[in-house]
Amino acid sequence: MPDMAAAQSASSKSNSGISRSHLKLLDGRLSKQYEDSKRLLPTNDDLPRYTGAYKGEFLAMAEAAAVKFGVPKHLFARLVQTESNWNADAVSPKGAIGLAQLMPGTAAILGVDPHDPQANLEGGALYLKQQFLRFRSWKLAVAAYNAGPEAVEEYDDVPPFAETQAYVLAIIGK
């Protein structure tokens, strides 16, 4: 009988390997379907509208960049308003550049010229969308845009930094 038990054990191991393989395949397929599904993404209904006074040329560029990368355009307009007050030449004390206040390293990774208003806005919208895909929440994406994704991961929420808390409140409104 010991041989039968060994055979059964080997068979179980073989079956569990097949199960793991199938589960991995299915998990990959489901993950891809979720990522591509518009229906399963959180709605933008609870995001505040952009009501700023600025209506110049950069607003249309920001809205176009937001639409191009699937970012709610009012959210992105509020982010740009908060980041640079629509000043294409803005440079922060920490070295962030332009309308969307891209850090030089982030701009390099994204392959955009942070001094070019169009490229800066597209880089900002793309980076914000990347953070949304990572955290599945516009609130956390905005927090990551400000404090960095590592800080959001560390706290598993909006980091308890006064600047980031105020930033998220200014853009998300809650």
73: phi then psi, degrees, rounded to nearest 5: -65, -35
Burial letters for 73-106: b for 16+ Cβ neighbours within 10 Å, e otherwise?
bbbbbbbbbbbbebebebeeeeebbbbbbbbeeb
pLDDT digits (tens, 9 = 90+) for 68-104: 999 999 999 999 999 999 999 999 999 999 999 999 9
pTM attached to this predicted model: 0.74
Low-confidence ranges of the chain (pLDDT < 50): 7-16, 31, 34-35, 37-43
Cα(28)–Cα(5) distance, rounded to whole angstroms? 34
Per annotation, catalytic residue among 35, 57, 63, 83: 83
83 has catalytic annotation = yes
Cα(164)–Cα(140) distance, rounded to whole angstroms? 10
